[in-house]
Amino acid sequence: MPASGAAQPTLAPAPTPLPAGPPAPGFDGGGDWINSPPLQLADLSKQGKVVLVDFWTYGCYNCQNTLPYVKQWWEKYKDQGLVIVGVHTPEFQSEHELANVQAAVREAGIGWPVVQDNDYTIWRAYRNNYWPRFYLVDHRGQIIYDHIGEGAYDETDRQIAVALAAAQGH
């Protein structure tokens, strides 16, 4: 006990990263990119980046409901090494049109890279079946977290923070 007699607070141990999962497939086979030139996951990994892959489509209400949280993560972590890549995989015919996707991105205030996945190439590579779906890829290119649908925002935030800390410590 310190001289003042007050107990010192006990600090919680730092969270440990999840063990690495399967390698992330990347973005090969995608179409047009918005807000960025085409990105390669291998290049981002070499730079020590953590990548949140967000499968979405602008006509999906659940995707729209997650957007404020994705924006918060973008603002909170983009300067710490987080890259968000929105994979826009259309459900309806109008969502295939680049101009419509560009307008939706602009209207929603999305500033992170978005790749159009009209042929579902990236979707199939990730073996995805849902909108929205988030895959967190660590600095080694491994999928370390996966969340389907809305909710678990605090857990996703925690997983991002843990992955960024691990990337900075490598």
At residue 2, the pLDDT reads 46
pLDDT digits (tens, 9 = 90+) for 39-53: 999 999 999 999 999
Mean pLDDT for 82-109 is 98
Mean pLDDT for 121-132 is 96
Q: Quick one: 149 exposed, middle or buried, by C-beta within 10 A (0-12, 13-18, 19+)?
A: middle
At residue 169, the pLDDT reads 85
Mean pLDDT for 55-84 is 98
At residue 18, the pLDDT reads 44
pLDDT digits (tens, 9 = 90+) for 26-38: 999 999 999 999 9
Q: Residue 69 pLDDT > 50, yes or no?
A: yes
Q: Residue 164 pLDDT > 90, yes or no?
A: yes
At residue 10, the pLDDT reads 45
**Cα dihedral 118→121→122→123 (10° resolution):** 80
Q: What is the pTM of this model?
A: 0.88
Instruction: Name which of 4-8, 57-61, 126-130, 166-170 the model is least confident about.
Output: 4-8
**Ramachandran category for residue 35: left, alpha or beta (phi over 0 → left; psi -120 to 50 → alpha):** left
Q: Residue 16 pLDDT > 60, yes or no?
A: no
20 band by pLDDT with thresholds 50, 70 and 90:
low
Residues 6+ apart with CB under 8 A from 122: 25, 27, 28, 29, 30, 87, 89, 115
At residue 11, the pLDDT reads 46
Contact 91, 60 (CB under 8 A): yes
At residue 170, the pLDDT reads 74
Helix (H) or strand (E) holding 86: strand 82-88
CATH superfamily of 33-168: Glutaredoxin (3.40.30.10)
**In the chain, domain spans:** 33-168
Share the mean pLDDT of the chain: 91
Mean pLDDT for 115-119 is 98
